[in-house]
Structure 1
């Protein structure tokens, strides 16, 4: 997936070309996709309700394949950014 701004005021987009569904760990597999670990396990380790949890094997799995992804609450702050309201985007699902 490629999510890129096309209007002025925002210079950064996100991109992930990994086949997440094809590489999805067995416990997270779902018909047609890959579940979030919180949805599957429903524990604070994966849901991070406290907001102070660290990375898990699953968050590292997603981060390694999609470095632009923000995969847990205390993840690398360079993974977050904002664009001004009214920014237009181009979305490519299979770059």
Structure 2
């Protein structure tokens, strides 16, 4: 990738189509912190672990970052120098 950026892997799973009912949002799938607003899902205390919802995402996209402390198994890391313009593309 140009400008010194490094990019992670792709995920081709149908997250929106398989989204758990309680996380469904118009046109997508919310993250559990947005829906439930609890420390279990938001990890505000700094001591949290994977949940059934993070496992749902991790099962479908194993290299993706699925909850706030998921550093050990995530391989999707994006780093770019300050001032970089980002372009995120979601494919059908």
Instruction: For CA contacts below 8 A with separation 6 or more, give which structure has more relative contact order.
Output: 1
- Displacement of 1:21: 0.6
More strand by share: 1
**Whole-angstrom CA distance in 1 between matches of 2:37 and 2:84:** 35
User: Is structure 2 residue 35 aligned with structure 1 residue 40?
Assistant: yes
TM-score in terms of structure 1 length:
0.72
Count of residues in correspondence between the two structures: 90
User: Which ranges in structure 2 are unaligned for 5 or more consecutive residues?
Assistant: none
TM-score in terms of structure 2 length:
0.74
Q: Judge which range, 51-60 or 11-20, deviates more.
A: 11-20
RMSD between aligned alpha carbons?
Answer: 2.5
- 1:67 match: 62
User: Which ranges in structure 1 are unaligned for 5 or more consecutive residues?
Assistant: none
